[in-house]
Amino acid sequence: MKSHYRVVVIGGGVVGASVLYHLAKLGWSDVCLIERSVLTAGSSWHAAGGIHALNADPNIAALQAYTIDLLPEIEKESGQNIGLHMTGGLTMAGTPDRWEWLQSAYRVFQSIGIEDCRLVTPEEAGELNPIMSTEGLLGGMWADREGYVDTTGTVHAYATAAKKRGAEVIEHNRVLELNQTAEGWQVVTEKGTVTCEHVVNAGGLWAKQLGRMAGIDLPVSPLKHHYLISDTIPTLEKLDFEVPMTVDLEGFTYMRQDQKGLLLGIYEVDHEHWAMDGAPWDYGMELFGEQTDRIEQELILGFERYPDLQEIGVKTWVNGAFTFSPDGNPLVGPVPGKRGYWCACAVMAGFLQGGGVGKSLAEWMIHGEPEADVYGMDVARYGDFAQNKRYIRETTGQFYSRRFVMTYPNEQLPAGRPLKTAPAHDAMTQAGCKWGVSWDLEVPLYFAPQGFEETPTLKRSNAFDIVGEECRVIREGVGLLDITGFSRFEVSGPRAEAWLDTLMASKLPGPGRAKLAPMLSETGKLKGDLTVLNWGDGSWWIMGSYYLRAWHMRWFNDHLEDGVSVRDLGEEICGFALIGPKSQQVITRVAEQDISGLKFMGCGRYDIGMLRTRVARMSVTGEKGYEINCRYGDHSTLRHMLLEAGTEDGIRECGFNAMLSTRLEKSFGIWSAEFTQGYTPGMTGMDRWIDWSKEFVGKLAAEGERDGNGPAQILVTLEVDAEGADASGYEPVWVGEEKVGFVTSGGYGHTTGKSLAMALVNRDQAAVGTDLSVHVVGVKRAAKVIAPSPYDPGGKAMRL
Domain membership flag for residue 718? yes
Question: Would you say 731 and 776 are in contact if contact means Cβ atoms under 8 Å apart?
Answer: yes
pLDDT digit string, tens, across residues 81-98: 999 999 999 999 999 999
Q: For residue 417, is pLDDT > 80? A: yes
Residue 206 placed within a domain: yes
Give the count of beta carbons closer than 10 Å to the beta carbon of residue 177: 11
Average pLDDT over residues 17-25: 98
- In the prediction, which pLDDT does 361 show? 98
* Mean pLDDT to the nearest integer, 494-521: 98
In a domain, 125, yes or no: yes
| Domain around 730 | 675-799
Alpha helices per DSSP H over 37-121: 58-78, 96-111
Q: Is residue 75 part of a domain?
A: yes
Q: Residue 59 pLDDT more than 90?
A: no
pLDDT of residue 656: 98
Task: Give 240: exposed, middle or buried? Use CB within 10 Å, 0-12, 13-18, 19+.
Answer: exposed
| Whole-angstrom distance, CA of residue 670 vs CA of residue 688 | 16
- Domain-located, residue 404: no
Query: What would the mean pLDDT of 651-657 be, rounded to a whole number?
Result: 98
Quick check: 114 pLDDT over 90? no
Tell me the pLDDT tens digit for each residue of 207-252.
999 999 999 999 999 999 999 999 999 999 999 999 999 999 999 9
- In this predicted model, what pLDDT tens digit does every residue of 669-696 receive, in sequence order? 999 999 999 999 999 999 999 999 999 9
Which pLDDT tens digit goes with each residue over 422-431? 999 999 999 9
Find the CATH number of the domain harbouring 705: 2.40.30.110
Q: Indicate whether 78 belongs to any domain.
A: yes
Q: Is the pLDDT of residue 554 over 80?
A: yes
∠ CA(247), CA(248), CA(250), 5° rounding?
Answer: 145
Domain total of the chain: 2
Give the pLDDT of residue 756.
98
Residue 175 pairs in a beta bridge with: 189
> What are the tens digits of pLDDT across the range 573-623?
999 999 999 999 999 999 999 999 999 999 999 999 999 999 999 999 999
Cα 322 to Cα 219, 396, 439, distances in angstroms:
14, 11, 25
pLDDT at 54 over 70: no
Question: How far apart are alpha carbons 737 and 773 in whole angstroms?
Answer: 9
Average pLDDT score over the chain: 96
Provide the pairing of β-strand 31-34 with 168-170.
Answer: parallel
Is the model's pLDDT at 658 over the cut of 90? Answer: yes
CATH number, residue 200: 3.50.50.60
Torsion of CA 249, 251, 252, 258, to 10 degrees: -100
By percentage, how much of the chain surpasses pLDDT 70? 100
Considering the domain boundaries, does residue 611 fall inside one? no
Strands 732-735 and 771-776 turn out to be antiparallel
pLDDT in tens, 320-374: 999 999 999 999 999 999 999 999 999 999 999 999 999 999 999 999 999 999 9
pLDDT the model gives residue 56 = 67
- Mean pLDDT of the region 302-313: 97
Residue 8 falls inside a structural domain: yes
The percent of residues in the chain predicted with pLDDT above 90, rounded, is 96
Residue 57: what pLDDT? 75
CA angle (721 as vertex; 114, 776 as ends), nearest 5: 30
Q: Give the model confidence (pLDDT) of 505-514 as tens digits.
A: 999 999 999 9
